[in-house]
Amino acid sequence: MKIRYGVLMLTAAASALAFAPSASAQAPEGVPSVTPDRLRNADAEPENWLMAYGNWSNWHYSGLDQITPDNVAGLRVVYMASIGGCARPQSGGVGTRCNEVAQPLVDHGIIYLNDNQGRVMAFDATSGDRAYPLWRFDPQVPVTSTDRGIALYGDWVIQSTGGPESGGGDNNARIIAIDRQSGESVWEVTAQEVVGPGNPNNADEIASHNFPGNEAVIETAEGKQLIIVGTTGNGIGYVGAYDANNGDLVWRTYTIPQPGEPNFGTWPGETWRTGAAHPWGAPASYDPETNLVFKGTGEPSPVYDPEYRPGDNLYSVATLALDAETGAIRWYFQEVPNDQWDYDSTSSRMLIPVTQNGTTTNVVANWARNGFFYELNAADGTFINAVAQVDNINWTAGIDPKTGKPVEYNPEPGILQNYGVAGPRRGRSEADAPAVCATWGGGTTGIWPGSYDPTTGITYNTRTTGCTYQTITRTTDEAFNPMAREGLGSVVRQVQVDTKFALIAIDTNAGVVANTFIRDQEIPSDRQAEIGALATAGGLVFTAGDDGRVSAHDSATLEELWHFSVGTGMKGGIMSFGVNGNQYIAKIVGGDNPGSSGIRSLIQPSAMLVVWGL
């Protein structure tokens, strides 16, 4: 083991393992490098899928149009490939659940993907009838992971490693560059913090941090090529930027203000030190015009015990606009001050043009977990509009049209907010717990993408309908544990009701819900729709449900035109790519969501790549 200039150099046996069948099975020569210009103009290559969410604006839209409402009924499985997953036990010998939450990337017919253990694979799909395995890279993540994706840059696959689902300490925040042709590690850095001045996290909290979300690779106005990542774990979260050429840290921005910084003091006492607000989810979006990076932040901790942390709890449940060169916060917008229901906001920030009253504004749009779709001015964060995704929201009576805050919001510092429905309260019995709607379980997070169709201005996403009852059974003060992720020792009982799958279309210009498609999956009291949506130039929207049903819908009406059951649960996005003039739809299948309700207990996990074509 050697450490040189901040780069951790490990032998293959100690760090990662690469497997390739033979020299003849290497990726074809002549595949062009993924340059910053290609990433900047990714929409000009609809046959390739170079970024997890399609482009720097996170549209998650395919410009391919071969598959249409007229011929989608002929869509069939053309090939499948096993990708691993579910191989390594958790601590204590507990078996690993499949939790496949990534989606493939494609460049000139070569598919790159990862499984839930962070193992990266490449397949040659140029034949159109088979995914031929080229190589497999294992970063040797020590426990079960929730690795949500990879990125492409130059001749490398960029991987930031996820870690334990429990947020425990395994010192596994790494960034790795993998050679796209050989599948071997080119460089690897340990990206974790160092205890010292300017770092609010202690050694145990640092050890718990990892990068479970999607990386983004951008080029700034000054020509810096950066890998943007966000953390999960304990302590305080951060957004980090690393040099895409060697992994060196460029900047790190914490998601909770520290003493002496603007907006410090929205947490009582020392509670800010364990407040979390981790930006773990969707890839950062990037606007070259303003040179701003946009990232959403997670819930405050303890998540269901708001009486422990009265105050706004900045910058939890917020959109952060960061200077791409320095990481400085240029503006922020908080959706739910003093969040009480786990309305974390780690979902995708889409950059879209919105035209209202004859004026077009560049907007940051977000399908929030709290049930609203937000539109903010991308330049300065000014609130523009909020659209209710569903019609049963009761946690607030509405959103203030001037501020974007819930209408009940009290700006007095350090208070416990009382919105339309009181969040979990100490001493309140389960019989007295109110139903809060929209349900947190199945509202959009960083696991799945919304989609934006630039030809119509319509955006699409999935969510679970219904409501949740929440009852505190143990307070934070009774069993405080700073290493107990999210709850910090507190415990809450939750019951979801009336849950169904929903695919929703919102007109971003008119600011209204255009259509909704709802389906009962016979999985009561649980999450239903953690896949998101893919709109295509062919006039279709593709999605899937946790019951294993993949479906295609008319983009104008949301009428279901085709479906196929893969027989296992699913999470993460669905995507499209082209090879030799043919369009394909691809999905990694194998979600977890174990449960005992309905058919859920009988659905077994898996880990497969499934590809459909005409």
Residue by residue, DSSP assigns 120-141 as EEEEE-TTSS--EEEEEEE---
**pLDDT surpassing 90 at residue 145:** no
End-to-end Cα spacing for the chain: 50
**Residue 13 has what pLDDT?**
33
The whole-chain average pLDDT of the chain stands at 90
Distance CA 563, CA 551 (A): 4
pLDDT tens per residue, range 408-420: 999 999 999 999 9
**Residue 93 has what pLDDT?**
44
pLDDT tens per residue, range 45-72: 999 999 999 999 999 999 999 999 999 9
**pLDDT surpassing 70 at residue 26:** no
**Residue 249 has what pLDDT?**
97
pLDDT tens per residue, range 431-488: 999 999 999 887 888 889 999 999 999 999 999 999 999 999 999 999 999 999 899 9
Nearest to 408 by CA among 398, 266, 258: 398
**Residue 242 has what pLDDT?**
98
**pLDDT surpassing 50 at residue 5:** no
Distance CA 308, CA 302 (A): 7
Q: 299-308 burial string, b = 16+ CB within 10 Å, else e?
A: bbbbbbbbbb
Instruction: Pick the range with the lowest mean pLDDT from 141-150, 462-471, 485-494.
Output: 141-150
Share of the chain above pLDDT 70, in %: 89
pLDDT tens per residue, range 276-305: 999 999 999 999 999 999 999 999 999 999
Q: What are the CA-CA distances from residue 27 to residues 24, 32, 50, 245 (Å)? A: 9, 12, 16, 21
For 370, the token pair is 């709290």
**Residue 98 has what pLDDT?**
64
Q: 371-383 burial string, b = 16+ CB within 10 Å, else e?
A: bbbbbbbbbebeb
Distance CA 504, CA 501 (A): 10
pLDDT class for 85, splitting at 50, 70, 90? Answer: confident
In sequence order, the 6+-apart residues with CB closer than 8 A to the CB of 378 are 287, 290, 292, 294, 321, 351, 361, 362, 363, 364
Nearest to 407 by CA among 372, 441, 382: 372
Strand order in the sheet with 17-19: 17-19, 132-138, 120-124, 110-114, 105-107
Whole-model pTM?
Answer: 0.94
Q: 172-182 burial string, b = 16+ CB within 10 Å, else e?
A: bbbbbbbbbbb
pLDDT class for 171, splitting at 50, 70, 90? Answer: low
Distance CA 201, CA 206 (A): 6
pLDDT class for 550, splitting at 50, 70, 90? Answer: very high
Distance CA 264, CA 257 (A): 5
Instruction: Pick the range with the lowest mean pLDDT from 42-51, 154-163, 166-175, 232-241.
Output: 166-175
SS3 assignment, position 409: coil
**pLDDT surpassing 60 at residue 271:** yes
Residue by residue, DSSP assigns 142-160 as SS-------EEEBTEEEEE
Distance CA 306, CA 467 (A): 19
Distance CA 485, CA 480 (A): 11
Give the distance between the most distant pair of CA atoms in the chain.
Answer: 68
Q: Are strands 238-243 and 249-254 parallel, antiparallel or unpaired?
A: antiparallel
The residue with tokens 């940051």 is: 364
pLDDT class for 215, splitting at 50, 70, 90? Answer: very high
Q: What are the CA-CA distances from residue 517 to residues 201, 209, 214, 278, 529 (Å)? A: 44, 38, 28, 32, 12
**Residue 142 has what pLDDT?**
72
Nearest to 26 by CA among 209, 194, 257, 180: 180
- Name beta bridge partners: 612: 77, 585
Report the run of H or E that residue 375 belongs to, with start and end. strand 372-377
pLDDT tens per residue, range 327-351: 999 999 999 999 999 999 999 999 9
Nearest to 586 by CA among 604, 568, 573: 573
Sign, Cα dihedral of 248, 445, 152, 9: positive
